[in-house]
Amino acid sequence: MAWSLGDVRIDGQVVLGPMSGFTSSAYRSFMTPFGASLCFTEMVSDMGVLHGMGNTRPFLESDPASPTAIQLFGSNPDSLAEAASAALKENPHAIAIDVNMGCPVEKVLRNGCGCALMRDPGLCGRIIEKVKESVDVPVTAKIRLGWSMEELTFPQVVEELQSAGVDCITVHPRTRADGYSGSPRTDLVAGLGDTMSVPLIISGNIFSRQDAALALETTGADAVMIARGGVGNPFLLTMIDRYLRYGEILDYPSVAQQMEWCERLSRMIVNEKGEELGMRILRAITPKFLSGCRYCRDYRLRLATFEGGIEDLAALLERISSKMGEQHICCHAPRYPDGRNGERRPIDRRSIVNTVN
């Protein structure tokens, strides 16, 4: 289960991915006990670190108990290197620097950042070289398949990154043109991890233990990154972690348990952000704790439009628990290529999808 990020030992194959507006320090601290062996901050601009530290500082914070990599974006090797050094001075608890080379958002792309970097594999390598010269922690990169299906540059980018001394690569197997739509093309990176000299983290549409196992099996990756799938479903990390470690198949949690976790996270976010901002953020998170719950649509709507304070929210969560607490959230198992549905029983990591329970 353990793998290495440079000289840093990572004890687990479940990684919490960066999500703008979600993965604050409080969110990462909440998710870590569920099984996140490594967390990534929200994406931070190199210019924000160098020239706007007052506004950027909260994005760099982390709990020492949550192993965290700071994710930066930019397009200039020198400024990224300088920002990486400054970020580590601000947060000496961070265990790595990650460079985003895969963001498909237009406001990032227009400055030549994010996935735009994948149009110049050589520049990707030069960025990693410069950043590694400026810091004494592992340096990683997050990439996509390329700009479009007609411009798949990930093989060249991976080669350049490894030649530059990158310590780990995360691959989201979609293109810039795909955004977050459609299914990830893990088939295009089949066996990639077996050909690499550094660890591979695979990302994209991990919403169940079956998704995680299949992604690892297909790509030969060392770890799987959970992002949207864990929002409102923190126990997903536990389910995947225990499945990969021990072959355990855990049941989905009850609504009562979900509401308890929801209140815990809500209080942590309000403590971090203040009640006004915290409650606005929570409107995007709390309804997801009821995803997969039958007859909970009205409650989800109430949470998404909730206007009260944290104690009012806690009272609503208690009412939901008292009404619906014995129900369990659920997630449909994926349909396999041969048309079957069901669970997969692991034998070992490399044959984990060969047996159906």
Instruction: Report the Cα 155 to chain-centroid distance in Å.
Output: 22
Mapping DSSP to helix (H, G, I), strand (E, B) and coil, where does residue 15 land?
A: strand
Q: How far apart are CA 9 and CA 293, in angstroms?
A: 38
Both tokens assigned to 46: 């190199």
What CA–CA distance (Å, rounded) separates 180 from 161? 24
Q: Where are the alpha helices (DSSP H) in 91-146?
A: 106-109, 121-134
Distance of alpha carbon 62 from the chain centroid: 15
Q: How far apart are the first and last CA of the chain?
A: 23
Q: Which residues are catalytic?
A: 103
What is the per-residue DSSP string for 144-201? EEEEETTEE-HHHHHHHHHHTT-SEEEEEEEETTTTT-S---GGGGTTHHHH-SS-EE
CB 351 within 8 A of CB 220: no
- The residue whose two tokens read 């984990």 is 352
Q: Answer whether 117's CB lies under 8 Å from 153's CB.
A: no
CA distance 95 to 168: 13
Cα–Cα dist 345/243, whole Å: 9
Q: What are phi and psi of 270, to 5 degrees?
A: -65, -40
Token pair belonging to 331: 């997630």
One-letter amino acid for residue 50 of the chain = L
Which residues are CB-contacts of 281 (< 8 A; sequence separation ≥ 6)? 21, 269, 273
Per DSSP, 7 falls in state T
Dig out the tokens for 357 from the structure: 């329970």
With tokens 């355990």, the residue in question is 248
